[in-house]
Amino acid sequence: MSFAFFIPDKVFATEIDILEQNISDSEKVKLNKWLSYGVEAVTETLGELPQDKIEIELVHKRSTGEPVPFGQVIRGSPVKVRLQINAYATFPEFVDDWTLYHELSHLYIPYLDYPSFWLNEGFATYMQYVAMLNSDTINAHQFVNRVSNGLIRGEQRTKQSPGQLAEVSDDMWRKRAFKRVYWTGAAFFIEVDNLLITQGQSMVKVIAAYTECCLTAESTGIKLMQDFDQIAKTRVFTDTYKQYYMRTDFPVITQAQIKLVSRYYANN
Protein backbone atom coordinates (compact mmCIF):
# COMPACT_ATOMS: atom_id res chain seq x y z
CA MET A 1 0.00 0.00 0.00
CA SER A 2 1.09 3.60 -0.44
CA PHE A 3 -0.04 7.02 0.68
CA ALA A 4 0.44 10.49 -0.68
CA PHE A 5 3.56 12.49 0.03
CA PHE A 6 3.15 16.24 0.18
CA ILE A 7 4.52 19.43 1.65
CA PRO A 8 2.15 22.39 1.51
CA ASP A 9 3.45 25.08 -0.88
CA LYS A 10 6.58 23.01 -1.60
CA VAL A 11 7.21 21.33 -4.95
CA PHE A 12 10.03 18.77 -5.37
CA ALA A 13 11.60 17.75 -8.65
CA THR A 14 11.70 14.16 -7.40
CA GLU A 15 8.57 12.00 -7.32
CA ILE A 16 8.39 10.36 -3.90
CA ASP A 17 6.18 7.33 -3.28
CA ILE A 18 5.67 6.14 0.29
CA LEU A 19 5.08 2.41 0.76
CA GLU A 20 3.73 0.93 3.99
CA GLN A 21 1.90 -1.96 5.58
CA ASN A 22 -0.23 -2.16 8.73
CA ILE A 23 0.01 1.54 9.57
CA SER A 24 -3.19 3.25 10.67
CA ASP A 25 -4.54 6.33 8.92
CA SER A 26 -4.01 8.43 12.04
CA GLU A 27 -0.31 7.50 12.15
CA LYS A 28 0.10 8.20 8.42
CA VAL A 29 -0.57 11.90 8.97
CA LYS A 30 2.28 12.11 11.49
CA LEU A 31 4.61 10.02 9.34
CA ASN A 32 3.94 12.14 6.26
CA LYS A 33 4.72 15.24 8.28
CA TRP A 34 8.00 13.69 9.49
CA LEU A 35 9.07 12.50 6.04
CA SER A 36 8.22 15.90 4.60
CA TYR A 37 10.31 17.56 7.28
CA GLY A 38 13.27 15.27 6.66
CA VAL A 39 13.23 15.60 2.88
CA GLU A 40 13.01 19.37 3.15
CA ALA A 41 15.90 19.49 5.66
CA VAL A 42 18.16 17.44 3.40
CA THR A 43 17.23 19.15 0.13
CA GLU A 44 17.65 22.62 1.61
CA THR A 45 21.16 21.56 2.63
CA LEU A 46 22.35 19.47 -0.33
CA GLY A 47 20.00 20.58 -3.12
CA GLU A 48 17.17 18.74 -4.83
CA LEU A 49 17.31 14.97 -4.69
CA PRO A 50 19.20 13.89 -7.83
CA GLN A 51 16.80 11.04 -8.69
CA ASP A 52 13.63 11.48 -10.77
CA LYS A 53 11.76 9.10 -8.48
CA ILE A 54 12.40 7.37 -5.16
CA GLU A 55 10.38 5.11 -2.92
CA ILE A 56 10.36 5.35 0.87
CA GLU A 57 9.26 2.09 2.44
CA LEU A 58 8.12 2.14 6.07
CA VAL A 59 8.23 -1.16 7.94
CA HIS A 60 6.46 -1.03 11.30
CA LYS A 61 8.42 -2.76 14.11
CA ARG A 62 6.35 -2.99 17.27
CA SER A 63 9.08 -4.37 19.50
CA THR A 64 11.54 -1.49 19.27
CA GLY A 65 11.94 1.42 21.61
CA GLU A 66 13.63 3.58 19.00
CA PRO A 67 11.74 5.71 16.46
CA VAL A 68 13.86 4.39 13.56
CA PRO A 69 16.03 1.41 14.57
CA PHE A 70 17.26 0.65 11.06
CA GLY A 71 17.48 2.18 7.60
CA GLN A 72 19.03 1.26 4.28
CA VAL A 73 19.19 2.43 0.68
CA ILE A 74 18.39 -0.16 -1.98
CA ARG A 75 19.90 0.92 -5.28
CA GLY A 76 17.44 -0.09 -7.97
CA SER A 77 15.00 1.49 -10.35
CA PRO A 78 13.63 3.38 -8.58
CA VAL A 79 15.96 3.81 -5.64
CA LYS A 80 14.29 2.75 -2.41
CA VAL A 81 14.90 4.05 1.11
CA ARG A 82 13.70 1.36 3.55
CA LEU A 83 13.11 2.42 7.14
CA GLN A 84 12.13 0.25 10.07
CA ILE A 85 10.04 2.42 12.35
CA ASN A 86 8.05 2.44 15.56
CA ALA A 87 4.92 4.04 14.12
CA TYR A 88 3.79 5.03 17.62
CA ALA A 89 6.79 7.28 18.27
CA THR A 90 5.96 10.97 18.52
CA PHE A 91 6.67 13.51 15.81
CA PRO A 92 9.46 15.21 17.88
CA GLU A 93 11.07 11.79 18.45
CA PHE A 94 11.09 11.10 14.71
CA VAL A 95 12.51 14.54 13.90
CA ASP A 96 15.31 14.13 16.45
CA ASP A 97 16.31 10.72 15.04
CA TRP A 98 19.23 10.89 12.57
CA THR A 99 18.35 7.89 10.38
CA LEU A 100 16.18 9.57 7.74
CA TYR A 101 18.70 12.37 7.16
CA HIS A 102 21.47 9.77 6.91
CA GLU A 103 19.75 7.56 4.36
CA LEU A 104 18.65 10.47 2.16
CA SER A 105 22.21 11.84 2.18
CA HIS A 106 23.40 8.58 0.62
CA LEU A 107 21.49 9.49 -2.54
CA TYR A 108 23.88 12.33 -3.41
CA ILE A 109 26.96 10.19 -4.07
CA PRO A 110 27.44 6.90 -5.98
CA TYR A 111 27.52 3.39 -4.59
CA LEU A 112 31.25 2.83 -4.15
CA ASP A 113 33.49 -0.23 -4.09
CA TYR A 114 33.55 -1.99 -0.72
CA PRO A 115 37.05 -0.81 0.29
CA SER A 116 35.71 2.73 -0.15
CA PHE A 117 32.52 2.24 1.87
CA TRP A 118 34.03 4.43 4.58
CA LEU A 119 33.41 7.31 2.16
CA ASN A 120 29.77 6.34 1.58
CA GLU A 121 29.02 5.96 5.26
CA GLY A 122 31.24 8.80 6.40
CA PHE A 123 29.54 11.22 4.04
CA ALA A 124 26.06 10.23 5.21
CA THR A 125 27.11 10.30 8.87
CA TYR A 126 28.57 13.79 8.55
CA MET A 127 25.72 15.13 6.46
CA GLN A 128 23.00 13.80 8.76
CA TYR A 129 24.16 16.28 11.38
CA VAL A 130 24.88 19.07 8.90
CA ALA A 131 21.29 18.77 7.61
CA MET A 132 19.94 18.75 11.17
CA LEU A 133 21.99 21.84 12.03
CA ASN A 134 21.20 23.68 8.81
CA SER A 135 17.47 23.11 9.35
CA ASP A 136 17.61 24.19 13.03
CA THR A 137 16.64 20.68 14.14
CA ILE A 138 19.68 20.88 16.42
CA ASN A 139 21.76 23.88 17.44
CA ALA A 140 25.50 24.37 17.08
CA HIS A 141 26.18 23.17 20.62
CA GLN A 142 24.24 19.96 20.02
CA PHE A 143 26.03 19.48 16.70
CA VAL A 144 29.42 19.70 18.38
CA ASN A 145 28.37 17.29 21.15
CA ARG A 146 26.86 14.69 18.83
CA VAL A 147 29.77 14.74 16.41
CA SER A 148 32.34 14.68 19.23
CA ASN A 149 30.64 11.71 20.89
CA GLY A 150 30.43 9.87 17.57
CA LEU A 151 34.14 10.37 16.98
CA ILE A 152 34.88 8.98 20.44
CA ARG A 153 32.84 5.87 19.61
CA GLY A 154 34.71 5.54 16.32
CA GLU A 155 38.06 5.76 18.07
CA GLN A 156 37.04 3.13 20.62
CA ARG A 157 35.88 0.77 17.87
CA THR A 158 39.15 1.23 15.99
CA LYS A 159 40.93 -0.49 18.84
CA GLN A 160 38.56 -3.45 18.53
CA SER A 161 38.71 -3.57 14.70
CA PRO A 162 42.40 -3.16 13.84
CA GLY A 163 43.86 -3.10 10.37
CA GLN A 164 44.03 -0.80 7.38
CA LEU A 165 40.88 1.24 6.83
CA ALA A 166 40.25 0.00 3.28
CA GLU A 167 40.54 -3.64 4.39
CA VAL A 168 38.29 -3.15 7.41
CA SER A 169 35.76 -1.29 5.25
CA ASP A 170 35.77 -4.13 2.72
CA ASP A 171 34.85 -6.59 5.49
CA MET A 172 32.83 -4.21 7.66
CA TRP A 173 29.79 -6.48 8.03
CA ARG A 174 31.63 -9.61 9.20
CA LYS A 175 33.94 -7.60 11.47
CA ARG A 176 30.98 -5.52 12.71
CA ALA A 177 33.27 -2.52 12.42
CA PHE A 178 30.48 -0.09 11.58
CA LYS A 179 31.40 2.62 14.06
CA ARG A 180 35.04 2.66 12.96
CA VAL A 181 34.10 2.82 9.28
CA TYR A 182 31.31 5.37 9.69
CA TRP A 183 33.18 7.73 11.97
CA THR A 184 36.56 7.53 10.25
CA GLY A 185 34.72 8.53 7.10
CA ALA A 186 32.95 11.34 8.95
CA ALA A 187 36.33 12.54 10.25
CA PHE A 188 37.59 12.61 6.67
CA PHE A 189 34.76 14.88 5.55
CA ILE A 190 35.12 17.14 8.60
CA GLU A 191 38.81 17.56 7.79
CA VAL A 192 38.14 18.18 4.11
CA ASP A 193 35.31 20.59 4.82
CA ASN A 194 37.57 22.63 7.11
CA LEU A 195 40.05 22.99 4.27
CA LEU A 196 37.32 23.87 1.78
CA ILE A 197 35.73 26.48 4.03
CA THR A 198 39.07 28.24 4.50
CA GLN A 199 39.26 28.40 0.68
CA GLY A 200 35.81 30.00 0.43
CA GLN A 201 34.11 26.75 -0.57
CA SER A 202 32.29 23.96 1.29
CA MET A 203 31.34 20.33 1.00
CA VAL A 204 27.70 21.13 0.26
CA LYS A 205 28.69 23.47 -2.58
CA VAL A 206 30.82 20.72 -4.12
CA ILE A 207 27.95 18.23 -3.81
CA ALA A 208 25.48 20.64 -5.41
CA ALA A 209 27.77 20.97 -8.42
CA TYR A 210 28.55 17.24 -8.51
CA THR A 211 24.90 16.15 -8.65
CA GLU A 212 24.34 18.56 -11.51
CA CYS A 213 27.23 17.39 -13.66
CA CYS A 214 28.69 14.10 -12.68
CA LEU A 215 26.65 11.80 -10.42
CA THR A 216 26.67 8.16 -11.52
CA ALA A 217 25.02 5.10 -9.97
CA GLU A 218 28.37 3.48 -9.16
CA SER A 219 31.97 4.60 -8.90
CA THR A 220 35.18 4.06 -6.96
CA GLY A 221 36.54 6.03 -4.05
CA ILE A 222 39.49 7.48 -5.91
CA LYS A 223 37.36 8.42 -8.94
CA LEU A 224 34.89 10.23 -6.70
CA MET A 225 37.70 12.14 -5.04
CA GLN A 226 39.10 13.12 -8.44
CA ASP A 227 35.66 14.32 -9.54
CA PHE A 228 35.29 16.40 -6.38
CA ASP A 229 38.75 17.91 -6.85
CA GLN A 230 37.96 18.82 -10.43
CA ILE A 231 34.82 20.63 -9.32
CA ALA A 232 36.54 22.42 -6.42
CA LYS A 233 39.69 23.13 -8.45
CA THR A 234 41.82 21.72 -5.67
CA ARG A 235 43.69 18.60 -4.55
CA VAL A 236 42.16 18.58 -1.10
CA PHE A 237 40.10 15.44 -1.69
CA THR A 238 42.68 13.17 -3.30
CA ASP A 239 45.51 14.29 -1.02
CA THR A 240 43.44 13.69 2.12
CA TYR A 241 42.08 10.42 0.71
CA LYS A 242 45.62 9.11 0.25
CA GLN A 243 46.30 9.86 3.93
CA TYR A 244 43.19 7.98 5.05
CA TYR A 245 42.44 4.86 3.04
CA MET A 246 45.35 2.76 4.32
CA ARG A 247 45.57 4.22 7.80
CA THR A 248 45.39 1.95 10.83
CA ASP A 249 44.78 4.62 13.46
CA PHE A 250 41.77 6.81 14.11
CA PRO A 251 42.25 10.39 12.87
CA VAL A 252 42.58 13.26 15.32
CA ILE A 253 39.79 15.79 14.82
CA THR A 254 39.96 18.79 17.13
CA GLN A 255 37.13 20.67 18.78
CA ALA A 256 38.23 23.71 16.77
CA GLN A 257 37.63 21.82 13.51
CA ILE A 258 34.17 20.67 14.61
CA LYS A 259 33.25 24.16 15.79
CA LEU A 260 34.41 25.71 12.51
CA VAL A 261 31.98 23.63 10.47
CA SER A 262 29.24 24.12 13.06
CA ARG A 263 29.57 27.91 12.78
CA TYR A 264 29.63 27.73 9.01
CA TYR A 265 26.48 25.64 8.62
CA ALA A 266 24.63 27.41 11.42
CA ASN A 267 25.07 30.68 9.49
CA ASN A 268 24.55 29.46 5.90
Neighbours of 267 (CB within 10 A): 8
pLDDT in tens, 194-208: 999 999 999 999 999
Q: What is the pLDDT of residues 140-195, one digit of tens each?
A: 999 999 999 999 999 999 999 999 999 999 999 888 999 999 999 999 999 999 99
pTM for the predicted model, two decimal places: 0.95
DSSP strand E in the chain: where? 2-3, 15-20, 53-60, 70-74, 79-85, 111-112, 218-219
What is the 8-class DSSP label of residue 250?
Answer: P
Q: What is the pLDDT of residues 80-89, one digit of tens each?
A: 999 999 999 9
Question: Vertex 260, ends 119 and 201: CA angle to 5°?
Answer: 65
How far is Cα 241 from Cα 235, in angstroms, rounded to an integer?
Answer: 10
pLDDT digits (tens, 9 = 90+) for 197-238: 999 999 999 999 999 999 999 999 999 999 999 999 999 999
Residue 8 above 90 pLDDT?
Answer: no
Q: What are phi and psi of 162, to 5 degrees?
A: -75, 165
Region 42-51: mean pLDDT is: 96
Q: How confident is the model at residue 26 (pLDDT cuts 50, 70, 90)?
A: confident
Q: Angle at the Cα of 80 (from 78 to 84), degrees rounded to 5? A: 165
CA-nearest of 82, 108, 106 to 18 is: 82
CB atoms within 10 A of CB 141: 11
For all residues of the chain together, what is the average pLDDT?
93
| Cis? peptide before 162, omega within 30° of 0 | no
Paired residues of 98 in beta bridges: none
